[in-house]
Structure 1
Amino acid sequence: MTVAKNAYKIAHRKVAHMRGIASSQRCIYCRRHAAQWALNHSRATKVTDGHLVWSEAPDDYDPLCVACHRIYDQAFAKDGQDALEDVDRRLRDKGLARCLLEFTARTARWR
């Protein structure tokens, strides 16, 4: 295992140790159960080996579900830092719409 890959894994273990497992949290965007800790590229102090990107600070990670994490990382990979504000807004809008639909479905049962 390369030094960078080992540091990447240690950083993720540190997040889980200090903040708990991601699945015990809600996704910050859609409010479904999170599955993974995702590096918040907008605020993180990043370390990279040219391929892997991580942070040594546990607070630089957010709990995300698999779908939101994939969308976030793909936008960053495609367009870099410039894409993050837009994808953050779109994911939050998607999450609010999902919450509204779920709330509407729950309250319809009360009638």
Structure 2
Amino acid sequence: MNSDKLTWRALLPALCLALLGVGAIGLASVWPHQAAAANQPLAVFGWNRDAVGIVAAAGARIISPGRIPGSIIAIADDPAILARLYEAGAILVLRADTAIGCATNNENNKDNKDNQGKQS
């Protein structure tokens, strides 16, 4: 008689598909959309850590350096900023308001201090 035991190898394809699905949902949440890119903070990553030059060439404004080396948080009024950043040499542009690790802590600390003052 052959006993069918459930092993981790049998679950490996389902686990891989689940991880890919979660990764795709996470990527879709931080990937900027062309129509919504104007007036939104964007995390710009450049080749050889030249994100400052890329942001300047695209005509965007620098808000702050990102937490990840080689990243800059930038903003622009132009709805075509995504195309201009990629044309200037950006290798990756993400939404900085939802990307974990891209935004700086300065805004969070200010919000926390404001909330503490209101609770007192």
Tell me if TM exceeds 0.5: no
Structure (1/2) with the larger helix percentage: 1
TM-score by length of 1: 0.30
TM-score by length of 2: 0.28
Structure (1/2) with the larger strand percentage: 2
Larger Rg: 2
